[in-house]
Structure 1
Amino acid sequence: MRRIKLLLEYEGSQYHGWQYQPNGITIQEVLEKRLETITGKKTPVVGSGRTDSGVHAEGQVAHFNTASNMTPRQFLKALNSLLPHDIVVRAVEEVDSDFHARKSAKRKIYRYTLLNRDYPSALRCRQAHYVAQPLKVTAMRKAARHLVGKHNFKSFQGAGCEAKSAVREIHDLSIKKRGDWIEFSVDGSGFLKHMVRNLVGTLIEVGYGRIEPDDIKAILKARDRKKAGPTAPARGLCLVEVFYDKPKAKRCKVSKKK
């Protein structure tokens, strides 16, 4: 069996997240059905992690095993010819059997987009959260610094999270303002259910002036979801990139001359 790695982009508004759900269509389900059409066999697809209902992706990674002799380019062309317009395969490559889209992942970057002005956007209403009240970006940046590093993020963990530990490490949390648009970029080793959206929701409360920047330290220490801010809407969140270790170089055997 061969292992095939996919790099995916999708607009998640019409889907109930990545993983199979009993109450709605998901990205995983759509991919598996198209692969079955192409290969003639049921083909389970493993993603780098779950994205919630309505969340988007520029760089979701997945893998599947197959006995097909199709080339990566043939898979790319075949999948994109069958997938709906809001799911696109950006790249396909054959990888070693020990590669695992979820277990091999080392870091992920998420971006949360927020529009902050007097009127919303008709063109980007499904990819950004709209906030009319002016936000204090400097205060949000100060608060964000307290979230960088290894912490117990229990206060930012969504209900129903099955993680055994709430300890995670955030490598970087930057907030950029470009005109009326505010972008939160969160780079971490892993994330709890709804964690990024809860972080952003809390930072928005800081922007409103309802939470002081230094209060973030007490919120972390409390390990109580009720102490943090509300969950920001899913539409503003996008999985940007998943990082893996570079594959080991294959050693060439040199035959000794007799």
Structure 2
Amino acid sequence: MAVEYDGSAFSGWQRLTRPGEEDRREEATVQASVEAALSFVAGQPIGTVCAGRTDAGVHARAQVIHFDTPVHRDPRGWMLGTTTRLPPSVCIRWCVPVADDFHARFSARARRYRYRLLNRPVRPALMRDYLGWERLPLDAAAMHHAAQALIGENDFSAFRTVHCQAPHARRDMQEITVRRDGEVVEFELQANAFLHHQVRNIVGSLLLVGRGEKPEGWIAALLEGRDRTRAGPTAPPGGLMFLHPLYPASWGLPAEVSLPPTPDER
């Protein structure tokens, strides 16, 4: 399934209460809402696995999940039945059956995020839950040029939160662009996977370059230094959207989450 959600009112994707931890069931999460709706449609408990967890306040256009169940419903029934049991801020965009060995997280080859920032002297009134804001003028071209130092497989320790639980900080940054559209500056990033707060920490650091407080080469120095304390602040969550993961075409998923077919797959 592809889940679309406005993360403004949620404490992130993941269920918060685990064995031995403080009970946080009163905090709303997208996963808990989706699993409750799926379980109602199935008539039995359903657990889900997602392509990439998102933080509190972060949105998603096509968060891909998978679940296993012996219950038979047609894809349209799963999609519409689940959506009717979800809050207005969440819906199921599509549903397709997959092979038993498909895994929403481990089968993905890449993830793509977009951060949108309003760059003007006055804070936003409209769309304020979906935009970051910077009042000082930003040089989008300088930020784009500086960001190219992050392309490739690198140790991104300088851009991970101290709470990140990943066993290592090496990630393959496949693409990163910064562009301006009027008063809005967009940052778009694609990598094989992302660390906790990695996108927001990269954006926060690039803003120092955009404001002229740091030279373009500073981003490369941060990457090399691997020291989070020297990087910029974490950008607010509202401007961040998880666009979608990407899977090999051989899985037969919708085009928006599929990589171009390889010669062997054509």
TM-score (norm 2): 0.89
SS at match of 1:247: helix
- Structure 1 residue 110: deviation in Å? 0.2
- Say whether 1:106 aligns with 2:109: yes
Alignment match, 1:52: 55
Partner of 2:208: 205
**Could you say which residue in structure 1 is the equivalent of 2:151?**
148
1:135-161 CA-to-partner distances (Å, cap 9, x unmatched) read: 122211121111111111000011211
Q: Deviations over 1:6-63 (max 9, x none)?
A: 0111000000111011431100000111112111211001111210010000011001
Runs of at least 5 residues in structure 2 that lack an aligned partner in the other structure: 18-23, 253-266
Q: May I ask how many residue pairs the two structures share in their alignment?
A: 244
Structure 1 position 121, deviation (Å): 2.3
- Structure 2 match to 1:176: 179
Query: Which residue of 226, 247, 250 maps to 1:247?
Result: 250
Unaligned runs of 5+ in 1: 1-5, 250-258
Identity %: 38
Aligned position for 2:4: 9
Deviation, structure 1 residue 120: 2.4
The structure-2 alpha-carbon separation of the partners of 1:229 and 1:7, relative to structure 1 and needing over 3 Å to count, comes to: same
Describe the superposition over 1:121-177 as per-residue Cα deviations: whole angstroms up to 9, x where unpaired.
222100010111111222111211111111110000112111111111111100111
Alignment pair present for 1:93 and 2:88: no
What is the CA-CA distance between 1:247 and the residue it aligns to? Answer: 2.3
Q: Distance in 1 between matches of 2:107 and 2:190?
A: 16
Q: Any conservation in 1 of the 2:144–2:179 contact (CA below 8 Å)?
A: no
Helix, strand or coil at the partner of 1:144: helix
> Measured at CA, do residues 17 and 248 of structure 1 come closer, stay the same or move farther in structure 2, by a change above 3 Å?
closer
Q: Do the aligned residues in 1 keep the contact of 2:176 with 2:189 (CA within 8 Å)?
A: yes
Superposed CA RMSD in Å reads: 1.2
Q: Counterparts of 1:145 and 1:79 in 2: how far apart (Å)?
A: 41
2:85 pairs, out of 77, 82, 86, with: 82
List structure 1 segments (4+ residues) > 4 angstroms apart after TM superposition: none
**Structure-1 residue corresponding to 2:45:** 42
2:136 maps to which of 122, 127, 133: 133
Q: Does the residue aligned with 1:174 lie in a helix, a strand or coil? A: strand
Deviations along 1:197-245, whole A, 9 cap, x unmatched?
Answer: 0000000111111221101121111111011111000111001121011
- Counterpart of 2:256 in structure 1 is none
Q: 2:220 aligns with which of 201, 217, 221?
A: 217
The 1-side partners of 2:16 and 2:77 are apart by: 29
SS of 1:66's partner is coil
- Greater gyration radius: 1
Provide the TM-score with structure 1 as the length reference.
0.92
